[in-house]
Amino acid sequence: MMAAPTNPSHLLCALINQLRQHKPESSQITDEAATDGEAAVSVSEGSGRDFDDRGKVFSSIGFSESASPSRVLSPERFNPKRAAVLICLFEGENGELRVILTKRASNLSTHSGEVALPGGKAEAGDADDRETATREAKEEIGLDPSLVTIVAILEPFLSLHLLRVVPVIGVLSDKKAFAPILNTAEVEAIFDAPLEMFLKDENHRSEEREWMGEKYLLHYFDHEINKKKFLIWGLTASILIHAASVVFQQRPSFPEMKPIYKYPTNFKVGFTKT
């Protein structure tokens, strides 16, 4: 029988109270229909290219929805597939906040060996994003949802292929009560990193890229723990930069350079449900 989790520390109590007050920025999805004589292009409801065959999420880029196009389609027409990831925070031995991450199995057909947050696509039986995130975490790393206190839902991120990924912040008050059980078909390793590192320029680098005519920075973080090295980048890095900004209530020490999304005038998105 699993022992009842211990009460959260003063640090985690303060974090829980702070994040329960958090209100995510609203996205800029408006009712302004695309005009300017766009040619209609049918796009299925979120491209499967941001999912692997097991429904796990990975994308080389991802941006918060509030940084999305100044002119996009209405919610009724912009209805991409949904996924959720769990940002599971706990207190480290030195009193710092740390986040649980995974390394994808090396034998996967797509994005093998990449670092990701626990999570995946929403299923029909999921009540909400919280349930999606915690269900996926249990399936991937054996994290019992009863050990996690969900404290905040961050604004959704849009991936390269317009998959909507919702970050869910949870607090693990009793780290010792969590005995990881890895689903080796999906996860090769589990590790943790200090959340604050995603605000610091140390061990960080970036590359300028261009997407849909807009320049942006792709962020990379190098992390070493227990003599093992990990590279955290892409959508996962973007989500953690934003999460750290919310938790510590400060901006990163490096430029983020988010693009201003603009659909080309000859591009009209018409999502169809599957």
Place of tokens 């992390």: 223
CA distances from 259 to 21, 43, 158, 209, 264 (A): 28, 22, 12, 10, 14
Q: Which token pair is 193?
A: 């990193």
Element (H, E) at 232: strand 228-233
Amino acid in position 214: E
Looking at domain 80-248, does it have CATH number 3.90.79.10?
yes
Residues 233 and 252: their CA atoms lie apart, in Å, by 15
Element (H, E) at 83: strand 82-91
**148 forms bridges with which residues in the sheet?**
172
Tens digit of each residue's pLDDT, the chain (274 residues)? 444 556 889 999 999 999 999 988 765 443 333 333 333 333 333 344 555 555 565 555 556 655 544 444 445 555 678 999 999 999 999 999 999 999 988 776 566 689 999 999 999 999 999 999 999 999 999 999 999 999 999 999 988 777 889 999 999 999 999 999 999 998 999 999 999 999 999 999 999 998 777 788 999 999 999 999 999 999 999 999 999 999 999 999 999 987 665 444 443 433 333 3
Residues 230 and 45: their CA atoms lie apart, in Å, by 32
SS3 150: strand
Its sign, for the CA torsion 194, 116, 70, 207, is: positive
Residues 260 and 82: their CA atoms lie apart, in Å, by 22
Structural domain spans, the chain: 80-248
